[in-house]
């Protein structure tokens, strides 16, 4: 039996687990990260790539933004294209803050390199993690390490293992409430070796369905199409994808798209999910393990970063002064900002998509919302603040007034 000891055992080496390990290291707190997949797999996994200003600030402050500052693309706005008519939302003018496009897997590569260079323990290919949470005293994480059964004694466990991970399932069902919404829609995403035709992101609302033209570098486009849920990638050969993108992104009937070889393709179902509370005894959930948003506003990564910032500060308070109040208050501190992002992502989903089953009333509501964003400076400013994340920064931390008699 392999017996190890650490202060915080971290399950999952996505952005949440890796960043938490990095921040803890800077505070002198020891951790071990256990990841089910291989390093190559997590470094190649393509996910959304839009970073809020505050996410970038945090990465800069902790020394993880070197390559991001060199290679990331700075954005001051985006285009809303409605049936071929273009409308620009100048998010920087409206909020004073920029957003950044930088692929999530690039950030994951930077984080893994930083952890390993600092001598951090990130163990890949660990497929059999199980948690034995203690009421008092050390908890135990069991798994196979280097071909031998291992027991890792730890003070705390950070569940950063995504929506399908093992950590959340360790919480007794009666102690956890799940809030969930599934949308009758999915996104088909491709990476293509084609320069983006627009310098800014284009969100295209079209009667054939939604499309998004994003990018990763000046040579690589990232493009999404709204498709039916349960669709198979086999039903979408490259020709069909490009034909649909051309139609939905056309400007005044003219194609507005550069095409190129498809490098990667994936499907993601649109879903919202929140687990409350985000903690149980010595276990703390962060990132997708605790909440999912539909990808419409690319908030998932930004929320995960905020979670682990708050969590690392709470661990610091415990180890530096013995104060457990910030750890005890972790879930309560995070949930208002998470629900603000859930609300905005849901609102964006309804703004941008005509959902199967929507009646004519639903489509007129969509039109009214689009009209407001295009014509009302107040509506545009609110959209911009929520898009760049400044509205959420006001949702956590300080004392908040509560809406009494809120249902549920």
Instruction: Look at residue 36 and give the partner it binds from ligand APR, ligand PHB, none, a contact being a CB closer than 5 to 8 Å depending on partner kind.
Output: ligand APR
Identify whether 277 is preceded by a cis peptide bond (ω within 30 of 0).
Answer: yes
Element holding 123 (H helix, E strand): strand 121-123
Residue count of the chain: 408
Write down the least CB distance from residue 49 to ligand PHB, Å. 4
* Distance between CA atoms of residues 244 and 237, nearest Å: 11
Part in contact with ligand APR (CB under 6 A); list of ranges 13-21, 169-177, 276-284, 344-352: 13-21
Q: Which stretch binds ligand APR (CB under 6 A): 89-97, 116-124, 297-305, 346-354?
A: 297-305
Structure tokens that stand for 309 in this block: 């910032």
What radius of gyration do the chain's Cα atoms show?
22
Size of the site for ligand APR (CB under 6 A): 28
**Planar angle of CA 74, 343, 387, nearest 5 degrees:** 15
**Binder among 77, 103, 196, 300 for ligand APR (CB under 6 A):** 300
- 114 close to 64: Cβ distance less than 8 angstroms: yes
Is 109 among the catalytic positions?
no
Q: Tell how far CA 212 is from the center of its chain.
A: 17
Contacted by 287, from ligand PHB, ligand APR, none: CB < 5 to 8 Å by type: ligand APR
Per-residue burial over 274-293, b = 16 or more CB atoms within 10 Å of its CB, e = otherwise:
bbbbbbbebbbbbbbbbbbb
Which one of residues 6, 14, 170, 344 is an interface residue with ligand APR (CB under 6 A)? 14
Q: Is 316 in the site for ligand PHB (CB under 6 A)?
A: no
Q: Are 168 and 178 in contact (CB under 8 A)?
A: no
Q: Work out what residue 222 binds among ligand PHB, ligand APR, none; the CB cut-off runs from 5 to 8 Å by kind.
A: ligand PHB
x/- contact string, 17-56, with ligand APR (CB under 6 A)? x----------------xxxx----x----xx--------
Distance CA(7)–CA(372), nearest Å, equals 51
Q: Is 298 in the site for ligand PHB (CB under 6 A)?
A: yes
**Among 25, 294, 295, 309, which one carries the catalytic annotation?**
295
Stretch that binds ligand APR, among 15-23, 168-176, 255-263, 269-277 (CB under 6 A): 15-23
- Which residue, 299 or 334, has its beta carbon nearer to ligand PHB? 299
Among ligand PHB, ligand APR, none, residue 214 binds (CB under 5-8 Å by kind): ligand PHB
Q: In Å, how far are 33, 53, 233, 309 from 20, measured between CA atoms?
A: 9, 19, 34, 7
Among 6, 9, 10, 15, indicate the residue that binds ligand APR (CB under 6 A): 15
Minimum gap (Å) between residue 91 Cβ and ligand PHB: 12
Residue 161: which of ligand APR, ligand PHB, none does it interact with, CB under 5 to 8 A by kind? ligand APR
Nearer Cβ to ligand APR (150/370): 150
Which listed residue (100, 203, 224, 330) is catalytic?
203
Structure tokens at 399: 């004392």
Residue 183 bears catalytic tag: no
Active-site choice (22, 75, 280, 353): 75
Q: How far is the CB of 269 from ligand APR (least distance, A)?
A: 12
> Is residue 378 within a helix (H) or strand (E), and if so which, with residue range?
helix 377-388
Helix extents (H) in 8-78:
15-26, 39-44, 53-61, 66-71
> Which of ligand PHB, ligand APR, none interacts with 162 (beta carbon under 5 to 8 A by kind)?
ligand APR
Among 12, 14, 15, 49, binds ligand PHB (CB under 6 A): 49
Distances in Å between the alpha carbon of 342 and those of 2, 12, 41, 98, 298? 42, 23, 28, 21, 11
**Phi/psi at 13 (nearest 5 deg)?**
-115, 50
Determine the residue with CB nearest ligand PHB: 214
CB contact at 8 A, 244 and 238: no
Site string for ligand PHB, 55-84 (x = CB under 6 A): ------------------------------
Cα distance between residue 329 and residue 180, in whole Å? 23
Least Cα distance to 130 among 109, 157, 110 occurs for: 157
Give the residue numbers annotated as catalytic, written as ranges.
75, 203, 295, 299, 387
Task: Using CB under 6 A, list all residues that contact ligand PHB.
Answer: 48-50, 201, 214, 222, 295-298
Task: Using CB under 6 A, list all residues that contact ligand APR.
Answer: 11-17, 34-37, 42, 47-48, 104, 126, 129, 160-162, 164-166, 287-288, 300-301, 304
């Amino acid at each position: 039996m392999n017996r190890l000891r650490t202060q915080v055992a971290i399950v999952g080496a996505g952005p949440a687990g890796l960043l938490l390990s990095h921040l803890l290291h800077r505070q002198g707190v020891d951790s071990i990260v256990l990841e089910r997949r291989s390093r190559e797999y997590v470094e190649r996994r393509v996910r959304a790539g839009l970073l809020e200003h505050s996410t970038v600030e945090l990465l800069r402050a902790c020394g993880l933004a070197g390559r991001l500052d060199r290679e990331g693309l700075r954005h001051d706005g985006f285009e809303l294209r409605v049936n071929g008519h273009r409308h620009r939302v100048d998010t920087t003018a409206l909020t004073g803050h920029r957003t950044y496009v930088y692929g999530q897997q690039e950030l994951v590569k930077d984080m893994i390199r930083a952890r390993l260079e600092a001598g951090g323990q990130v163990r890949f290919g660990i497929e059999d993690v199980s948690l034995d949470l203690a009421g008092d005293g050390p908890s135990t994480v069991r798994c196979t390490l280097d071909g031998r059964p291992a027991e890792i004694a730890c003070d705390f466990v950070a569940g950063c293992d995504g929506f399908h991970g093992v950590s959340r399932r360790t919480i007794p069902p009666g102690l956890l409430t799940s809030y969930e919404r599934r949308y009758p829609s999915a996104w088909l995403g491709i990476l293509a070796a084609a320069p983006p035709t627009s310098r800014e992101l284009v969100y295209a609302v079209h009667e054939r369905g939604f499309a998004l033209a994003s990018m990763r570098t000046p040579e690589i486009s990232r493009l999404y199409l709204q498709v039916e849920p349960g669709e198979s990638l086999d039903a979408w050969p490259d020709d069909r994808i490009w034909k649909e993108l051309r139609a939905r992104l056309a400007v005044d009937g003219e194609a507005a798209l550069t095409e190129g070889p498809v490098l990667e393709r994936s499907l993601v179902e649109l879903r919202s999910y929140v687990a409350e509370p985000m903690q149980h005894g010595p276990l703390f959930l962060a990132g997708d393990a605790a909440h999912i948003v539909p990808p419409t506003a690319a908030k998932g990564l930004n929320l995960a970063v905020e979670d682990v910032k708050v969590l690392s500060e709470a661990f610091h308070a415990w180890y530096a002064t013995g104060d457990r109040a910030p750890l005890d208050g972790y879930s309560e501190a995070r949930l208002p900002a998470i629900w603000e992002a859930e609300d905005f992502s849901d609102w964006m989903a309804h703004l941008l998509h005509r959902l199967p089953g929507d009646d004519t009333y639903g489509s007129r509501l969509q039109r009214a919302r689009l009209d407001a964003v295009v014509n009302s400076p107040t509506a545009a400013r609110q959209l911009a603040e929520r898009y760049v994340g400044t509205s959420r920064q006001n949702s956590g931390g300080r004392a908040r007034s509560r809406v009494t008699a809120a249902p549920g």
